[in-house]
């Protein structure tokens, strides 16, 4: 019934354009409208965006590969086109972004008191950027979207952030800029090389995909540039030190989006560009070893450092380093389980860590402190908040029945065959995850409720419940019945594995090759 | 696939899960909304588990009537489909799971009922019952799951409930610490479980028991793969079932309410590891090395824990170490390939240890009450504050004596029969491999220690003169019927439970072994034979050892020399070593926990992150950052349009330059 309706309105022809346009239009409306309406308009636009995007769930055909595609000349002289499309890899990133936007607006409702118009306009602009990154099928367009994300985020941190916001914003900007400038150079180099060889100067994704091997020995440098840009974004150890600062200083909604969506732009970049363009390099034994090592080190390192953070927000930030390590491990497992696991961890981390940042923000709004030591025993004062925090923490720990388990389990199963030792080390991440989250949970919510200022903290308000409810539902839904999600991403994952393995062919040795499923 | 159980109550096994689930949700809602609606909480909390028990009985009858050779699978939905990996959320009904259902819901019902009295005055009553219902749900998923991942839902789920209930009174930091410790130590084991699933999936291409066990024949017997997989599974078992090296969480777990200790930390959850080994008998039978390690760890744990139990003063600590020790026996049994004997001891232990804990709970309840009445602060769990309770708590005394005799292995109580079954198999294995004689010998020594500390507990608690306090004595009284009722039932089971699986030399022998045969025969364990004379001799040895140790406890122990806990001198010498559990906790703290935290804080965070990466790498080139910052602030007109224009111009410039 749903698909008949979507057909009737030619949903697939306009949806992506509209998803890119609505937030921009909304941003303009917010910026020029009256300040007191800013957040209401923003909420309306974000909800509209979510409702419009929800149709993708039904309209998406798992087996159809890249779909909702459309293309139009943009700067013809340079071979730049406005090309967009969606497949099983990008679908959930788009849905995750549109789901989180209304929650972020609601989550900022009281937190943001200054320059509301600018804040909400930037938030909406950021949405277009994020969706643009995930649907762009032209590398120039992709780069523009990539930078379009960077700019609003820079301002969100730098203007509405905490005490060291400028340091954090600049660190974030410089770090990311370093990577993206290298990526731009790589894109341009590839553009000219391919253009020279084929005579067709184009930024088209498909064109790059087919002809990227022409880069020859330069491929290693190109892959390196792409990989560095994405690795900083993920962030892969040791390029992660911008993350804790940015997270701690950013306002709640920016932290949520940073963790839930922006980090995924890095792993998405690996899945969409770095690996498919240069499979034989990405899967070369030396490169594989380096990536694997960094992924596993990140898992353990992130968890250990998270464990000793006195600042709750920083703890959550470091936990991202650990979780994203699982994504990298899953991608490089190069089998269906590993890649599907990686994609699922990307979604799960968005839900769970997004929720954790919301919760930390709610605690901060009550107590004006993120120091774990400032709390203690507050489960007695805020029982519902404690229950939700526990559920989210358990999902982050990967308790079976929650989403976290399904993703990590698939990654570990996938990674086991090619890399048993790396998997054995990675699995200690689940132990440390329990250690840092339960320890934090204890020091915040359990123990004695002794600080007088904690006695009368209010429990969750209706608005806060509305922010958290969708995330908690997602946690259990994907935990208990992930099939609709897995089914939608499986063909894309299989395609990625098959193409990469096929093209990397000669270089693939050992288990990774023999384990590729038919 | 049509099995003899299609269309019977076995198809409805999922109902056993639904009732506790509903109970959890309803009580959870009440805990948040109406924590004082205690009557509703009791009805829902106890009713849901009793309903699950009724379903279990129906399932058991269906299995008994259908007598299927292969399990009946109830598929609910496809849980994790990822390429060739497909995990169904399915239930596995066979003789083993039917038995476990009865034990879990049967003993569970009694403990829920007891809790109505024990927890009646607690402000967290609704929260308590919601956790307890949730525990039953996960425990049933654990025993009913038809594949490793589904079992793992229950496996980690019960761990979660254990965590929540150990730290139930979370306002006290020690309790919250104990819960966290339990969860993390269990997680170490669970990591092994996860890796075992990875290994098994790639080798067998299925994680469903039925398919995986069928294909297990393709694995080389005694080979690296099956040995590795079973060792990893056993690592999981050592966490959940508190065996060396992961046992130290269980004594701390006594921080939870006593009925929780009875249900989770004695009768059901901690036996999950034994169930796991029995369930995977096919795999363990292919790995003789692992089986020998399982038995060895088991019997060693049994001995070590028993020696610690000897000197404990906290009545619950005695029982906690005793549980660790008895679990060791069960692992000796399943390690010896005597899966039925292991499960039999699991069952009888569920009866008598639940009984002992609940009876201890009654004692604590009574003392607590007395101390509350007079306002004196003293430890209501310390046996040095007890003594002579026989007159004040006659029912509790009677049932506790039964439980202690069963634990001590005094004939003809249940523990005597089930312990004998395990030791006899170990002895028989010695014929082929003398190592098993050593195991048997340690088992016998441990049996003597067990009998001794059981009687020590009874004597110090109930006999002799009372040491509770002059004023308090008059406030000591027997607990209400909701608490004594379940005790009496469990006491009966502790007396007659042995009849479930009598040794071959007695009439109507080995009922349970024959019941489990369809499950256990798939594991090709080399048969063991004992002549009737040997069997009688072993029974005799077991009886003599138990009775002698009981006698020794009465001859050697001098309760009249005890003084109250607050005035007692600290233990010295070897008694102190035993009392402190060989300082293993301190060892773990110094060798693992603190170095980990130090490494994380000083080396990784302050050293690598702040020092090397940020210090030398990022901020070391701070002038770059500052430069960027200056350019950034110069460019920062606040006009996004300008920004974008400059940006696009720049790109075009670069493009032009590249051409």
Task: Tell me the ipTM for this assembly.
Answer: 0.93
| A515 has a pLDDT exceeding 60 | no
Contacts of A446 in chain B (CB under 8 A): 167, 170-171, 173, 176
Mutation site, A32, A169, A447, interface B, largest B CB count within 10 A: A447
What does the pLDDT read at residue A162? 83
Task: Note whether B82 contacts A490, CB cutoff 8 Å.
Answer: yes
List CB contacts (< 8 A) between B180 and chain A.
Answer: 438-439, 442
Q: What is the pLDDT of residue B603?
A: 86
Query: What is residue A130's predicted lDDT score, i.e. its pLDDT?
Result: 96
Answer yes or no: is pLDDT of B569 > 90.
Answer: no
Nearest Cβ partner for B604 among A301, A431, A439 = A301
Chain B residues within an 8 Å CB radius of A147: 647
CA-based nearest distance A44→chain B, Å: 23
User: How many whole angstroms separate alpha carbon B115 and alpha carbon B135?
Assistant: 14
- As a whole number, mean pLDDT of residues A477-486 equals 96
- pLDDT of res. A517: 40
Residue B316: the pLDDT is 95
- Residues in chain A within 8 Å Cβ distance of B599: 304
Whole-number pLDDT of residue B619 = 67
Q: Do A446 and B163 touch (CB under 8 A)?
A: no
Looking at residue B488, its pLDDT comes to: 95
Residue labelled with tokens 């699922």: A344
Query: Which residue of chain B has the CA closest to A28?
Result: B640
pLDDT for res A156:
93
Neighbours of A518 (CB within 10 A): 6
Q: Is the pLDDT of residue B6 over 90?
A: no
Residue A409: per-residue pLDDT: 96
Strands A67-75 vs A80-86: parallel, antiparallel or unpaired: antiparallel
CB contact under 8 A, A483 and B77: yes
- List residues bridging with B89 in a β-sheet: B77
DSSP B310: T
Q: Which of A241, A430, A434 lies at the smallest CB-CB distance from B609? A: A241
The band of A513, judged by pLDDT with boundaries at 50, 70 and 90, is: very low
Window 396-435 of A: residues touching B by CB (8 A cutoff) are 399-401, 405-406, 409-410, 412-413, 416-417, 420, 423-424, 427-428, 430-431, 434-435
Of residues A339, A335, A314, the one with CA closest to residue A407: A339
Instruction: Tell me the pairing of strands B72-82 and A80-86.
Output: unpaired
At A450 the pLDDT is: 87
CB within 8 Å: A409 and B194: yes
pLDDT at A518: 35
Q: Give the number of residues written for chain A.
A: 518
Mean pLDDT within B447-476: 91
Neighbour-count burial of A8, counting CB atoms closer than 10 A to its CB (0-12 exposed, 13-18 middle, 19+ buried): exposed
Q: Dihedral, CA atoms, A277, A281, A282, A286, nearest 10 degrees? A: -170
User: Is B83–A177 a contact, with Cβ atoms under 8 angstroms apart?
Assistant: no
Q: Using 50, 70 and 90 to split pLDDT, how confident is the model at A178?
A: confident
The closest CB to that of A439, out of B78, B180, B608, belongs to B180
Q: Which of B199, B647, B655 sits opposite A78 (nearest CB)?
A: B655
Residues of B in contact with A427 (CB under 8 A): 191, 194-195
Local confidence band at B639 (pLDDT 50, 70, 90 cut-offs):
low
Closest residue, chain B, to A393 (C-alpha): B160
Chain B positions in Cβ-Cβ contact with residue A424 (cut-off 8 Å): 195
**Could you tell me the pLDDT band of residue A230, with boundaries at 50, 70 and 90?**
very high
Structure tokens at B410: 């005094």
The minimal CB distance from A377 to the residues B171, B198, B655 is found for B171
For the four alpha carbons of B382, B384, B388 and B392, in that order, the dihedral sign comes to negative
Task: Report chain A's mean pLDDT, rounded to a whole number.
Answer: 92
Q: Which of A168, A180, A308 to mutate to test the interface with B (most CBs of B within 10 A)?
A: A308
Q: Which of B187, B197, B643 sits opposite A434 (nearest CB)?
A: B187
Q: How far is residue B55's CA from residue B71's CA, in Å, rounded to a whole number?
A: 18
What is the per-residue pLDDT for A509?
A: 40
Per-residue model confidence (pLDDT) at position B641:
66
Q: Nearest residue on chain A to B191, judged by CA atoms?
A: A427
Could you say which DSSP state residue B568 is in?
P
Where does the pLDDT of residue B2 fall: very low under 50, low under 70, confident under 90, or very high at 90 and above? low
pLDDT of residue B504: 85
Q: Which of A374-378, A513-517, B60-64 has the lowest mean pLDDT?
A: A513-517
- What pLDDT score does A471 carry? 97
Q: What mean pLDDT do residues B97-121 have? A: 94
> Distance of CA B174 to CAs A83, B160, B611, Å?
60, 18, 35
Q: What is the tens place of the pLDDT at every residue in B393-434? A: 999 999 999 999 999 999 899 999 999 999 999 999 998 899
Give how far B257 is from chain A: nearest CA, Å: 17
CA A82 to CA A73: how far, in whole Å? 6
Average the pLDDT over A18-38 and give the result: 94
Name the pTM for this structure: 0.93
Beta strand segments in B582-643, E: none
Query: Using CB atoms and an 8 Å cut-off, which of residues 16-75 of chain A contact chain B?
Result: none
Nearest CB partner across the interface for B170, out of A379, A410, A480: A379
Residue B637 pLDDT class (50, 70, 90 cuts): low
For residue B397, give the nearest of B322, B414, B405 by alpha carbon: B405
Do residue A341 and residue B82 have CB atoms under 8 angstroms apart? yes
User: Which is higher by pLDDT, B646 or A146?
Assistant: A146
Mean pLDDT, chain B, rounded, equals 91
Q: How far apart are the first and last CA of chain B?
A: 69
Phi, psi of A365 (to 5 degrees): -65, -30
**Chain B hits for A445, Cβ within 8 Å:** 170
């Amino acid at each position: 019934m749903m698909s008949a309706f979507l057909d009737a309105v030619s949903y697939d022809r306009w949806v992506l354009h509209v998803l890119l346009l609505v937030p921009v239009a909304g941003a303009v409306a917010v910026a020029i409208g009256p300040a007191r309406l800013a957040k209401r308009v923003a909420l309306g636009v974000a909800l509209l965006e979510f409702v419009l995007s929800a149709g993708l769930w039904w309209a998406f055909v798992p087996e159809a590969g890249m779909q909702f595609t459309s293309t139009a000349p943009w700067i013809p002289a340079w071979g730049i086109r406005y090309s967009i499309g969606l497949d099983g890899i990008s679908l959930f990133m788009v849905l995750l972004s549109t789901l989180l936007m209304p929650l972020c607006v609601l989550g900022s409702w009281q937190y943001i008191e200054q320059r509301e118009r600018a804040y909400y306009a930037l938030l909406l602009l950021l949405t277009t950027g994020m969706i643009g990154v995930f649907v762009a099928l032209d590398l120039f367009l992709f780069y523009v979207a990539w930078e379009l994300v960077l700019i609003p985020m820079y301002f969100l941190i730098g203007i509405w952030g905490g005490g060291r916001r400028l340091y954090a914003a600049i660190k974030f900007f410089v770090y990311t800029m370093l990577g993206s400038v290298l990526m731009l150079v790589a894109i341009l180099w590839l553009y000219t090389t391919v253009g020279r060889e084929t005579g067709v100067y184009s930024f088209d994704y498909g064109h790059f995909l087919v002809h990227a091997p022409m880069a020859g020995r330069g491929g290693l440098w190109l892959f390196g540039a792409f990989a560095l840009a994405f690795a900083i974004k993920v962030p892969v150890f040791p390029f992660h030190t911008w993350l804790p600062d940015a997270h701690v200083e950013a306002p709640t909604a920016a932290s949520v989006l940073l963790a839930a969506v922006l980090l995924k732009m890095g792993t998405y970049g690996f899945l969409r560009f770095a690996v498919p363009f240069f499979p034989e390099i990405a899967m070369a034994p030396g490169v594989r070893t380096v990536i694997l090592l960094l992924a596993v080190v990140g898992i353990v390192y992130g968890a250990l450092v998270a464990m000793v953070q006195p600042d709750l927000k920083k703890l959550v930030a470091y936990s991202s380093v650990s979780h994203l390590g699982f994504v990298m491990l899953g991608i490089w497992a190069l089998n269906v389980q590993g890649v599907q696991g990686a994609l699922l961890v990307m979604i799960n981390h968005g839900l769970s860590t997004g929720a954790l940042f919301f919760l930390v923000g709610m605690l901060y709004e009550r107590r004006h402190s993120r120091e774990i030591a400032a709390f203690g025993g507050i489960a007695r004062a805020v029982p519902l908040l404690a229950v939700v925090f526990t559920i989210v923490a358990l999902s982050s720990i990967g308790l079976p029945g929650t989403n976290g388990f399904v993703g990590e389990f698939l990654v570990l199963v996938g990674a086991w065959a090619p890399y048993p030792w790396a998997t054995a080390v990675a699995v200690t991440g689940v132990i440390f995850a329990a250690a840092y989250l339960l320890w934090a949970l204890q020091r915040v919510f359990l123990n004695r409720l002794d600080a007088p200022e904690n006695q009368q903290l209010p429990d969750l308000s209706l608005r806060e419940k509305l922010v958290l409810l969708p995330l908690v539902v997602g946690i259990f839904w994907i935990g208990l019945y992930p099939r609709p999600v897995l089914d939608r991403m499986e063909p894309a994952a299989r395609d990625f594995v098959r193409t990469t393995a096929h093209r990397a062919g000669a270089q693939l040795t050992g288990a990774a090759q023999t384990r590729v499923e038919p | 696939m049509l099995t003899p159980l299609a269309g019977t109550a076995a198809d409805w096994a999922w109902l056993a899960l639904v009732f506790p689930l509903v109970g959890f949700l309803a009580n959870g809602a009440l805990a948040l909304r109406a924590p004082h609606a205690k009557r509703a909480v009791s009805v829902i909390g106890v009713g849901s588990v009793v309903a699950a028990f009724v379903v279990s009985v129906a399932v058991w009858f269906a299995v008994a009537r259908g007598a299927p050779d292969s399990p009946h699978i109830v598929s609910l939905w496809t849980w994790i489909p990822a390429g060739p990996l497909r995990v169904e959320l399915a239930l596995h009904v066979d003789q083993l799971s039917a038995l476990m259902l009865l034990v879990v819901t049967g003993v569970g019902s009694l403990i829920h009922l007891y809790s109505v009295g024990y927890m009646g005055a607690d402000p967290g009553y609704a929260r308590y019952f919601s956790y307890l219902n949730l525990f039953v749900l996960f425990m049933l998923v654990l025993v009913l799951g038809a594949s490793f991942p589904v079992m793992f839902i229950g496996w980690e789920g019960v761990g979660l409930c254990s965590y929540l209930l150990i730290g139930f009174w979370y306002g006290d930091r020690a309790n919250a610490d104990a819960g966290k410790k339990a969860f993390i130590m269990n997680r170490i084991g669970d990591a092994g479980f996860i890796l075992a699933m990875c290994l098994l999936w790639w080798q067998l291409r299925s994680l469903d028991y039925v398919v995986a066990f069928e294909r297990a024949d393709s694995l080389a017997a005694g080979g690296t793969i099956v040995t590795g997989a079973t060792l990893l599974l056993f690592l999981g078992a050592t966490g959940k079932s508190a065996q060396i090296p992961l046992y130290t969480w269980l004594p701390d777990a006594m921080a939870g309410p006593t009925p929780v200790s009875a249900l989770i930390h004695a009768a059901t959850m901690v036996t999950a590891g034994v169930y796991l080994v029995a369930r995977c008998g096919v795999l363990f039978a292919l790995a003789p090395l692992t089986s020998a390690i399982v038995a060895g760890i088991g019997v060693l744990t049994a001995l070590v824990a028993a020696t610690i139990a000897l000197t404990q003063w906290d009545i619950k600590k005695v029982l906690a170490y005793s549980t660790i020790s008895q679990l060791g026996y069960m692992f000796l049994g399943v390690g010896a390939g005597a899966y039925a004997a292991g499960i039999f001891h699991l069952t009888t232990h569920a009866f008598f240890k639940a009984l002992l804990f609940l009876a201890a709970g009654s004692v604590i309840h009574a003392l607590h009450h007395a101390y509350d009445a007079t306002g004196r602060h003293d430890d209501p769990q310390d046996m040095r504050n007890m003594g002579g309770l026989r007159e004040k708590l006659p029912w509790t005394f009677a049932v506790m004596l039964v439980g202690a005799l069963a634990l001590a292995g005094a004939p003809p109580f249940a523990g005597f029969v089930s312990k004998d079954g395990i030791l006899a198999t170990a002895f028989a294995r010695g014929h082929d491999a003398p190592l098993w004689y050593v195991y048997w010998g340690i088992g016998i020594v441990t049996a003597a220690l067990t009998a001794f500390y059981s009687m020590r507990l009874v004597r110090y608690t109930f006999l002799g003169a009372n040491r509770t306090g002059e004023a308090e004595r008059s406030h000591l009284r027997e607990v209400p019927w909701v608490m004594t009722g379940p005790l009496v039932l469990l006491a009966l089971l502790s007396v007659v439970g042995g009849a479930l699986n009598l040794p071959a030399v007695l009439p109507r022998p080995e009922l349970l072994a024959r019941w489990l045969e369809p499950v256990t025969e798939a594991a090709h364990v080399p048969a063991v034979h004992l002549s009737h004379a040997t069997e009688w001799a072993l029974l005799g040895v077991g009886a003599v050892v138990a009775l002698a140790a009981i006698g020794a406890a009465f001859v050697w122990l001098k309760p009249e020399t005890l003084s109250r806990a607050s005035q007692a001198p600290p233990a010295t010498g070897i008694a102190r070593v035993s009392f402190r559990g060989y300082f293993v906790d301190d060892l773990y703290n110094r060798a693992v926990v603190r170095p980990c935290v130090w490494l994380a804080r000083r080396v990784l965070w302050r050293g690598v992150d702040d020092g090397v990466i940020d210090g030398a790498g990022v901020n070391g080139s701070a002038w770059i950052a500052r430069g960027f910052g200056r350019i950034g602030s110069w460019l920062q007109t606040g006009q996004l349009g300008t920004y974008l224009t400059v940006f696009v111009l720049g790109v075009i410039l670069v493009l032009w330059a590249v051409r």
